[in-house]
Structure 1
């Protein structure tokens, strides 16, 4: 019996020894044992980490719900909250405080005052309830006017409901101001029209509208607004003058301004020279060839197509007053419009960058938005930028203020490549027109926009 048992044990041990893979699988791996121990120990030693992870998961899951709740509050409660005026919020806070004080301290006077304030709010609600049915049309005769011109518009209101509408008020924001129109009682399909005029003393972009109807209580605790139109931009362009005749004579040459660079093919004839193999035979001058007995060809000068560059300095430290800065804007606009009328290439630049000049409307619209600031960049920096941006210009205008010194003007002209005519216009209020020369730079002094054509004719002479 014992012998059989020993034999069975030996055979089992031999099978285990013969199967090393099974032996390795049966033995626990030290790495796996350590990992299991670390996992178990971490679960036992750091229960707060699981709580933190669970809280994070719950918060992430609840974020969309909270976001939807807030969006719903803004959507449905926003219009309600917007009805309360600033005075209404003050009264509401005071009434709430009186209710609390009266209830805590049994203060009857506070309770009476709180009740009175609550009644006022309830009465105010009755004034803003109701629905108006209007058809409102805002019409501006012109959306672009010059400084000093009349800007006229109208507001036409029609009753589109089947019932008569009680008198009401319409508000029309015009820039920072607000115009109020009082509507009479309107029968069904009845129309009421009001005309208005917008002052245009200064260059600006004025936002007109939107037209809104207002319902409010006598104490203005609650104020309900309904918008009926979209806002409209009114451009008040700078004043400009037309330049005719020889006022722009320096850009009047149809062939462009000649340069000192010689060319074998152009429209500006320079001289005759001997024929060189490779020259175009169409340029052979046969009469001279017949007289001299050898081939002679025409030599041309390269011409530059007229390209006008206007550099307007917007550094207010270079001007003595706002009137001088506005005069500079008008001068730049007038010269630019003349170049566009003559279909010249035009580039207008300020310290803030280039100004659109594809059409006269684009030019004046962008010049309406120009703002002067006390900045670090001077007229000399602007001249360098202009020379880099418009290297092929034929005429460059520098429009500056009276505080730009002659040395700065000389530096500005020196930054322009040779062969380009430079003209500086100094805008000085109440100054007689004049002309001076600093090297190759022509300096014109202008005190009134109406004298611009005169001084340009002097410069062209």
Structure 2
């Protein structure tokens, strides 16, 4: 007699927290008992702390929700109110309250007049303007002293005529304002403006915004239509000769004390070791000694130009010297990049990007001095630490840096590097002064730099 096979049944895995399986009749009661035991084991202080933390999380979520509601609802209502508008609003409420409480009709009349003014001001800003505005700069990079031209083109994107408005374009800390006349659907209005660039800086132009307000100045509603555009005002630079003399120490680079089996700078001969490249066997010496001899070389490295700029006001007589120092550094750096040299630029505060001439001039546009920045000697120590492999080091400072300070700075710099220090002295004639193995170049204007560099090449 054959018996039917038993039906296979799957047993659910037990819960890792309670040790019970789903479907177990005692699962719910076991879990409840476990939680009660854990709750009894907690001290009263711990239970109070848990309650307070829970209440704080609820209060925090409620506060965040209320803040979001206020930003969405209240901010658009109160943002158009100007300072004068707030004064009139508070004065109107005070006059009406005092007039009603004291029974003074004169105060009530003054309060009503204020309320009428506020109501009339609302009429001027109610409504939605529909524009399509384009902001365009002829050049986003100009040299200090040049005028940068900008253009705004305003298209009416509404189905109905738009009331007159004011268009504002922030330019740095200044503000350009234009009157926008009444526009019909499809109208286009264009304005051109010039940006004076009297100093080296990075200007943020825009965003373009439309402004509507009442004649009294109680309410002012503005809407932004474009993103801001950066305008880089580069320092003045001069063109130097190609492969400017004095910039490159030598064509092969600088030699080091590290020995290698293949390079340019010959050092000595040594016995042949299995695995050496046979191309470097010195056959004449091998024939004379009877053993194989191979050449040994000193490792050379690519020439690196390190430019250092002090940004401490104590190293300059005035701001004009600081600007000239930046122009000199920019001229040297741009020429070195053109000559495909490795260039590093270090200020008292930070390292500037110098992979291309444009990036270097962009970075120099935003350099400012500060009394908290390191002075000349500290700059020399930073350059020595951060760029110890530099073959040419050029430091830039002002009239307060004297030869004694230059001597002290030289002791901090790498011994293998050629060091040139540029000190800017207002209206000074260019001259070169050797201080040991350091060249001290005194210069009064960036236009004298090509002449100074030709003198450096002769030293």
Q: TM-score, normalised by structure 1?
A: 0.83
**Distance of 1:167 and 1:351 partners within structure 2:** 51
Q: Which runs of 5+ in 1 are unaligned?
A: 1-38, 44-49
Render the CA deviation track for 1:271-290: whole Å, top value 9, x for unaligned.
xx555222543123457777
Q: Which runs of 5+ in 2 are unaligned?
A: 1-39
Cα offset for 1:229? 0.6
Cα offset for 1:52? 11
Contact 2:391 2:417 in 1 (8 A): yes
Q: Tell me, yes or no, if structure 1 residue 235 matches structure 2 residue 232.
A: yes
Q: Tell me, yes or no, if structure 1 residue 276 matches structure 2 residue 271.
A: yes
In the TM superposition, 1:178-217 aligns within 5 A as 178-217=175-214
**Distance of 2:300 and 2:60 partners within structure 1:** 70
- The structure in which a higher percent of residues are helix is 1
In the TM superposition, 1:54-453 aligns within 5 A as 61-245=58-242, 247-251=244-248, 253-259=250-256, 263-269=260-266, 276-278=271-273, 280-286=277-283, 297-298=294-295, 300-375=297-372, 377-453=374-450
**Distance of 1:372 and 1:405 partners within structure 2:** 20
Cα offset for 1:260? 6.5
> Which of the two has higher C-alpha Rg?
1
Residues 1:54 and 1:404: Cα distance change in structure 2 (over 3 Å): closer
Contact 1:274 1:295 in 2 (8 A): no
SS at structure 1 position matched to 2:351: strand
**Distance of 1:56 and 1:264 partners within structure 2:** 70
Q: TM-score, normalised by structure 2?
A: 0.83
**Distance of 2:335 and 2:54 partners within structure 1:** 70
Number of positions where the alignment pairs a residue of Structure 1 with one of Structure 2: 415
Cα offset for 1:418? 1.4
Residues 1:159 and 1:454: Cα distance change in structure 2 (over 3 Å): same
SS at structure 1 position matched to 2:343: strand
**Distance of 2:140 and 2:162 partners within structure 1:** 32
**Distance of 2:128 and 2:376 partners within structure 1:** 59
Cα offset for 1:64? 2.9
Contact 1:263 1:300 in 2 (8 A): yes
